[in-house]
Amino acid sequence: MNRLLLAALFVLGFFPSLSSAVDIKNIRPCYAPFGATRYDLKLLPGDVLFITYDLEGLKTDKSGKTNYETTLELIDTNNKVLYKKPTTNEVVPQLGTGRMPGDLHVIMGAQQAAGKYTVRLTVHDKLETDKNLAAKKFEYPFDVIPQSFGFVGVTAPAIGFPGQHYVTGFGLVNLAMNDKKQPNTEINIRILDEKDNAVAPAVKIELPRDMPEGIDLTQANFVPLQYPIYLNRPGRFTIDIQAKDNFGNRKASLRYPVTVLDVNSFVGK
């Protein structure tokens, strides 16, 4: 073996603290806590950007507790900070190691201007004495698009288990209406397997027929909807939701993956 390489391995083996600086990994936009991965980062006003991540290399004190601060910032296309919020975290990682899960969310205002935005998160490990290792940050760009017909506020778990009633929630906004202030909208929901084949007949929701009680689109052009799925077997699936606004001649789509886990593969029989 090359002597220089051997010397480098020797140093890394006896000084693990060289790689113990706080780090941010597994950054993932998703649909709410523990949600399915979100691939479309073009948000409508009123929508929510939710991101999960993992912190690694956090120091712990004598009692085994971490002490770190996260600072969330929303930045517009002119590099102006529109929102800033620091949060102090003191948590005991009871399963060991200096790893902690985290998440952030930013709510777009109902009148949020269209344009390019960036969310920035900075993590400061207050127990790290080396200032060069104490802080880490990441930035994630996204777009806000002009008001139009589409989905907002989606909640969709990433995983489920056989026998569970899995529920997807979402809102439709900016529906066109007739003279009676009623919409004419169709929503088709399909469940697809890994080859993109439907595993069951599509479910169809029609508005105003299936509109929740008490909805007045003249007061707020927003329709909250839910779709329950009974998970009868494990596997990897895709939920495909297509919405058509017939009065406005507009379409919107929502698509995300769901994994149904076999509990026996983890706990044994």
Express each pLDDT in 150-179 by its tens digit.
999 999 999 999 999 999 999 999 999 999
Structure tokens at 150: 């589409």
pLDDT score of 19: 44
* 91 sits in which H/E element: none
Q: What are the chain's domains?
A: 20-144 (2.60.40.3880), 150-267 (2.60.40.3880)
Does 224 sit behind a cis peptide bond, omega within 30 degrees of 0 on the bond before it?
no
In three state form, how does the secondary structure of 216-239 look? CCCCCCEEEEEEEEECCCCEEEEE
Q: What is the pLDDT of residue 239?
A: 97
What's the confidence (pLDDT) of residue 150? 98
pLDDT of residue 49: 97
Q: Is the pLDDT of residue 207 over 90?
A: yes
At 97 the pLDDT is 86
- Look-up: residue for tokens 């399915």? 36
Please give the pLDDT value at position 18: 39
Q: What is the mean pLDDT of the chain?
A: 91
- CA 237 centroid distance within chain: 18
Rounded to whole angstroms, how far apart are CA atoms 143 and 183?
Answer: 28
CA distances from 9 to 2, 57, 123 (A): 11, 20, 30
Q: And the tokens for 7? A: 């010397």
pLDDT by residue (tens digit) across 6-26? 333 333 333 333 345 899 999
Of 71, 50, 51, 74, whose CA–CA distance to 121 is shortest? 71
d(CA 31, CA 90): 26
Query: pLDDT per residue over 224-233, tens digit each?
Result: 999 999 999 9
Residue closest to 83 by CA, chosen among 91, 92, 73, 93:
73
Distance, in Å, from the CA atom of 154 to the CA atom of 189, rounded to the nearest integer, reads: 14
pLDDT the model gives residue 2:
44
